[in-house]
Structure 1
Amino acid sequence: MQYLDVLKTFFDTVGGWVWGPVMLVFLVGTGIYLSLRLAFLQFTMLPFALKQAFTPHAKNRDGSDNQGDISHFGALMTALSATIGTGNIAGVATAVVLGGPGAVFWMWITAIFGMATKFGEGVLAVKYRIVNERGEMSGGPMYYIERGLNWKWLAILFALFGTLASFGIGSSVQSNSVAHSIQASFGIDPMTTGIVLTVFTAIVILGGIKSIAIASSFIVPFMAIFYVVGGLVIIFMHLDLLGPAFATIFRDAFSGEAVAGGAIGTVIRYGVARGVFSNEAGMGSAPIAAAAAKTDHPVRQALVSMTGTFLDTIVVCSITGLVLVMGGIYTNGETGAALTTQTFNQLLPGPGGWIVTVGLVFFAYSTILGWCYYGEKCASYLLGEWFVLPYRIIYVASVMIGTIASLDLVWAAADTFNGLMAVPNLIALVLLSGVIVKETRDFVAKRKSGELP
């Protein structure tokens, strides 16, 4: 077992570098750069984007359907199924513990600029997508790196990192979280949970993107509404704590008083890191789902993709962050999901803890579904469409393994590969930013002329 410890140490070291200050600056810096080039489109077009996300996809003038596999809403829900996960519950709690309440503010800032990043990813995903051998859409960073930059080697690296990350962050780590959460709350053996979870996962993902989109379109709205409503009930029950909570967040964001030594850099670091971990803006995962959407223009789907960051961080993460600060017990030594559960229970005795447990189970399960599609597309890019079925079988098996295995090494490796995915993607976003701007201007012009609705 000693070599496993050495391997874990290696991935911990590499992961620490990958997710260090340079990466966080690159991630947020790309969002700032795109925001400036797009004239802060995330503010001016957010209402229109939200409307597009929740209305049927536009058809052509002659009534024919647009090219694609799933609707705008289906693509958004598939992407959200992967992004709304344990980071919204455990990740926010970790940020508040390690960075103080001010970390919540920096999560908001990261999301604002991340919306521009997610928009850029969506534009490129649709513009450079292809129809594969099975007649389905394939797109994402590997395709816009290859077809936009003509850098096949960099596209291969992204696909490799994405495939490897999917088995960890996408499946085994999530199933492990579900199994242990259910065991703690209901005393059910992880093996039993693993069998049930594996069967339900297999039923959905063996049907491909259309099956995943249908399941996600049901699970994601349900779980998000359930969790957000539960959080809002707590907030409205303790409105007297809301004002002081906001004051604490804003004060600590620029002072770092809640962090040992008053380190403002620590507040920013954990706010940015957990914000990116939660909404995945810049990671290159969400555009893989965006590429499958039926749409008449790359920008229309990009706007829909952009709303994912808003819903994930500005809405869902904010609920967790506000409740944690209102509860005020983030210095008691607990962290992660345990702290969130304790805080919800304190402010809403009884049902509070259940809200977190149920939310965590559904958040993690939906992440398993969404990441299967991401990993499948990365794997098929590397090895061909024939590998789709073998990949799905291996992925389902990793879900079962995750519920009963110790995952310290898997988590360390997956976290590293997940961070490495961002490097090729961010390079492409910066170098292809001119294409993003050009497509955006084209969409605006066509809407003004009446050519597009």
Structure 2
Amino acid sequence: MEGLLNFLTTLDGFLGSAAWFPYVLLGVGLFFTIYLKFPQIRYFKHACKVVTGKYDDSNDPGDTTHFRALTTALSGTVGMGNIGGVAFAIYLGGPAALFWMWVTAFLGMTTKFVEVTLSHKYRVKTADGTMAGGPMYYMDRRLNMKWLAVAFAVATVISSFGTGNLPQSNGIAQSIEASFGIEPIIVGSVLGILLAMVILGGIQRIAAVTSKIVPFMAVIYIVGALAVIFANVENIGPAFMAVIGDAFTGSAAAGGFLGASLAYAFNRGVNRGLFSNEAGQGSAPIAHAAAKTKEPASEGMVSLLEPFIDTIIICTITGLVILSSGVWQEKHENEFQRADTTFLASEYVEGKEEDMEKLYQYLNGKEGHGVELYSGQITVVNGAAVSGGFTLLNARSFAEDVRYSLTDEDLYTGTLRIENGKPVKDDIVISGKSLIHSAALTTVAFSRGFFGDFGQYIVSVGLLLFAFSTAIAWSYYGDRAMTYLFGPKSVMPYRVVYVAGFVWASFSDTTLVWVLSAVAIVVMTLPNLFGIVMLHKEMKSTANEYWDKVNDK
């Protein structure tokens, strides 16, 4: 697993974490925003009318209504990214990361409008009578780039695991274990059975289930979040000031948080914003292709509501909960995951200016930091290290009250070999106090409101519904891609593997899952961005033709 993590981390360094990727993603959104004259503002009111059913016609071709197509697509975006993804972005980049998530969402509203319109325009009816659409169809039927369509479809299958399956299952299991003490493998197995029961019913059952889950889960989550926000209302102003004030400077060290540079916060905010709202990724068009309408642009307008709901509303609420409660800069008792744990050579002192600056440079990927990984032996007596010469970082923070135990929870006594910053023995459990991230951070934040410790259960239930519905939606995206690549007979084997992956991820390493998702997202996004830019003139004419018809009525 460690070798796989290192490979994926290196690959991500050339893709999603590379300096160029956020500029490409935002650049395409900015181009279409200007080219189409800010459709996310001009078309917003009309989009709301379309989704309420004002223009619905039951005789139009398609499998489901505008509203159900929207909720299916929303179920694919509103998930782990809104609960764990926001927490992960703030953990990495500080408050500034939330600002760049907003920017990604605003420009992403236009990107999603474009990708859904073009994909809906070139959808096809399959042999079983259902609609199939997505970027692979406009790439194939309009651009005549079969190779690009195949590349996108393959990336969609991979991303169905990296975006919609593995992180969702992992986040659910992590939260349920923290709140109820249920073993992750049990959670994954039970939900795996339920997932199989839903996805075997195809788009009709998927749309029916998600149209009920999405509104219900949103209400539960928002109520719980507001209980925290109002309980810490005096911190709301400072939280907003930190988000905006740090946007162009980066976030300074605060509490256990060792600081984040502007470049790091920008990259993580854009990356997590994409993971949350998927604007530009090309996933939502697959769900919207099922909508009953003769006008592709009308479904495109429905889709521009997604980044607004997903990121500007729900992610902002999550961000305010985390920032106003202050938990993002606090150290909490936790079991250290191997991927988050690093032994550094030399003994660094928290609060010492020189040491803090070195670690800031190291954690933000800057050159010349002088920090080296520790290799050697550590002597441990009754769970405590009695030898020195090293510093233990966990979750990008100084670890405190560290304990070394065997897997059967007995305190360890003996020597522990460390190579390149990682312990060699796999049966040693390291625990103590450090920063936390992902769903665990949001769970703790929800306990700082009017509901007290009961708030963590709201996160667990909300995460269960959010993430489970995301897994449902992404199974549909994956099976449409498999249908394009190999035909309808390939769908059932794909679903079996999809459910198996969901169960496996429930007890796998969180960091590995997040890195895999980061790679999968970019591999899927780049072909789609290329394709919609190629069709920018057609997009403009399609939108204008739609408005000509609407104005004639």
> Is the shorter-chain TM-score for this pair beyond 0.5, marking a shared fold?
yes
Aligned equivalents of 1:418 and 1:265: distance in 2?
Answer: 20
Please point out which of 429, 433, 436 is paired with 2:532.
Answer: 429
Identity of aligned residues (%): 44
Does residue 1:440 correspond to 2:434, yes or no? no
Please point out which of 9, 16, 25 is paired with 2:13.
Answer: 16
The residue that corresponds to 2:489 in the other structure is: 386
Does residue 1:194 correspond to 2:188, yes or no? yes
Please point out which of 424, 436, 439 is paired with 1:337.
Answer: 439
Relative to structure 1, the CA distance from residue 426 to residue 170 in structure 2 (aligned partners, 3 Å threshold; closer, same or farther) is: same
Q: Residue by residue, what CA displacement relative to the aligned partner does 1:7-45 show, whole Å, maximum 9, x if unpaired?
A: 432222112211022121111111001101110010111
Aligned equivalents of 2:73 and 2:260: distance in 1?
Answer: 37
Letter in 1 for 2:444: Q
The residue that corresponds to 1:298 in the other structure is: 296
TM-score by length of 1: 0.93
The residue that corresponds to 1:54 in the other structure is: 52
Q: Residue by residue, what CA displacement relative to the aligned partner does 1:249-278 show, whole Å, maximum 9, x if unpaired?
A: 221213324366773222322221211111
Q: What are the ranges of 5 or more consecutive residues in structure 1 without an aligned counterpart?
A: none
Please point out which of 81, 86, 92 is paired with 1:92.
Answer: 86
Letter in 2 for 1:305: S
Relative to structure 1, the CA distance from residue 92 to residue 411 in structure 2 (aligned partners, 3 Å threshold; closer, same or farther) is: closer
Query: Secondary structure of the residue that 2:193 maps to in structure 1?
Result: helix
Aligned equivalents of 2:327 and 2:312: distance in 1?
Answer: 22
TM-score by length of 2: 0.77
Please point out which of 58, 68, 71 is paired with 1:77.
Answer: 71
Aligned equivalents of 2:192 and 2:91: distance in 1?
Answer: 33
Relative to structure 1, the CA distance from residue 405 to residue 337 in structure 2 (aligned partners, 3 Å threshold; closer, same or farther) is: closer
Contact 1:284 1:422 in 2 (8 A): yes
How far the C-alpha of 1:100 sits from its partner, in A, is 1.8
Q: Residue by residue, what CA displacement relative to the aligned partner does 1:363-387 show, whole Å, maximum 9, x if unpaired?
A: 1111110110010011111101221
Does residue 1:176 correspond to 2:170, yes or no? yes
- Which of the pair is proportionally richer in helix? 1
Aligned equivalents of 1:176 and 1:262: distance in 2?
Answer: 26
Aligned equivalents of 2:259 and 2:70: distance in 1?
Answer: 41
The residue that corresponds to 1:30 in the other structure is: 28
Letter in 1 for 2:206: I
Relative to structure 1, the CA distance from residue 296 to residue 248 in structure 2 (aligned partners, 3 Å threshold; closer, same or farther) is: same
Relative to structure 1, the CA distance from residue 134 to residue 407 in structure 2 (aligned partners, 3 Å threshold; closer, same or farther) is: farther
The residue that corresponds to 2:344 in the other structure is: none
The residue that corresponds to 1:289 in the other structure is: 287
How large is the Cα RMSD of the aligned pairs?
Answer: 1.9
Q: Residue by residue, what CA displacement relative to the aligned partner does 1:74-106 show, whole Å, maximum 9, x if unpaired?
A: 111111111111111111112222222122122
The residue that corresponds to 2:151 in the other structure is: 157
Contact 1:255 1:262 in 2 (8 A): no
Does residue 1:236 correspond to 2:227, yes or no? no
Relative to structure 1, the CA distance from residue 388 to residue 257 in structure 2 (aligned partners, 3 Å threshold; closer, same or farther) is: closer
Relative to structure 1, the CA distance from residue 356 to residue 65 in structure 2 (aligned partners, 3 Å threshold; closer, same or farther) is: same
Query: Secondary structure of the residue that 1:210 maps to in structure 2?
Result: helix
Letter in 2 for 1:18: L
How far the C-alpha of 1:410 sits from its partner, in A, is 5.8
Aligned equivalents of 2:517 and 2:90: distance in 1?
Answer: 23
How far the C-alpha of 1:219 sits from its partner, in A, is 0.8
Aligned equivalents of 1:401 and 1:250: distance in 2?
Answer: 39
How far the C-alpha of 1:5 sits from its partner, in A, is 4.1
Relative to structure 1, the CA distance from residue 410 to residue 239 in structure 2 (aligned partners, 3 Å threshold; closer, same or farther) is: closer
The residue that corresponds to 2:215 in the other structure is: 221
Please point out which of 445, 449, 452 is paired with 1:347.
Answer: 449
Aligned equivalents of 1:410 and 1:112: distance in 2?
Answer: 27
Aligned equivalents of 1:303 and 1:131: distance in 2?
Answer: 22
Query: Secondary structure of the residue that 1:356 maps to in structure 2?
Result: helix
Contact 1:58 1:296 in 2 (8 A): no
Letter in 1 for 2:539: I
Bigger-Rg structure (1/2)? 2
Aligned equivalents of 1:11 and 1:152: distance in 2?
Answer: 28
How far the C-alpha of 1:435 sits from its partner, in A, is 1.3
How far the C-alpha of 1:303 sits from its partner, in A, is 0.7
Letter in 2 for 1:153: W
Higher relative contact order (CA 8 A, sep 6+): 1
Relative to structure 1, the CA distance from residue 248 to residue 392 in structure 2 (aligned partners, 3 Å threshold; closer, same or farther) is: same
Q: What are the ranges of 5 or more consecutive residues in structure 2 without an aligned counterpart?
A: 331-434
Letter in 2 for 1:234: V
Contact 2:175 2:443 in 1 (8 A): no
Aligned equivalents of 1:353 and 1:80: distance in 2?
Answer: 24
How far the C-alpha of 1:440 sits from its partner, in A, is 0.6
How far the C-alpha of 1:389 sits from its partner, in A, is 2.2
- Which of the pair is proportionally richer in strand? 2
Aligned ranges for residues 193-212 of structure 1 at < 5 Å? 193-212=187-206
